[in-house]
Amino acid sequence: MLSVAKKLVKIAACILLYLVAFDIVGALVCLFLDIVSFGDSNTAAYYAIWFVLGVFCGLFSYDIGGTVASPKSNADGTNQDWTSREDSGKTGLLVIFTTSMVLVTLSVPCYLFLWQYNPEPSGYVPDSLPLTLTFFGTVLAGSVFAHKALRPEPKKSA
């Protein structure tokens, strides 16, 4: 049981690091957009920025989260990518579960402290409710997509 808790903590730490890194990149891109457009609101561009960043954050956090949750070598002593192992499905689902729990956990304080009291539109995450939900939703969607795309196809019995 302790090993599962350690895996969850490692995965959550990876996800949080990627969320912070992609949030900083997104804030810088939105700041640049604000400067270039002289403060005019460009809502569609903000949604596109946070959508793309969310997908890539989900893909990268899924891969690295699975890497830290998997043992370094296989039972036969070979070092192979975690996505090509037989237990990659379970590890991937653990990463997706942890991602969803981290996103829900982050949404609660954002709602309590930011979204209730700041009705002004903003292009930044987590200040804006719709942009943050777009970002969080695409992070989760990117992780699910990576889970389906990165794992090998099941072997067909003859």
Question: Domain residues for 63?
Answer: 2-72+80-150
The two three-digit tokens of residue 54, written as one number: 């969310």
- H/E run at residue 120: none
**Residue of 71, 59, 122 lying closest to 95 (CA atoms):** 59
Q: How far is CA 65 from CA 119, 150, 153, in A?
A: 35, 13, 21
In a domain, 157, yes or no: no
Q: How confident is the model at residue 24 (pLDDT cuts 50, 70, 90)?
A: very high
Average per-residue pLDDT for the chain: 87
Q: What is the pLDDT of residue 42?
A: 81
Tens digits of per-residue pLDDT, 73-122?
555 556 678 888 888 889 999 999 999 999 999 999 988 888 887 666 78
Indicate the residue type of 53. Answer: L
pTM: 0.88
In a domain, 155, yes or no: no
Lowest mean pLDDT among 3-7, 58-62, 96-100, 141-145: 3-7
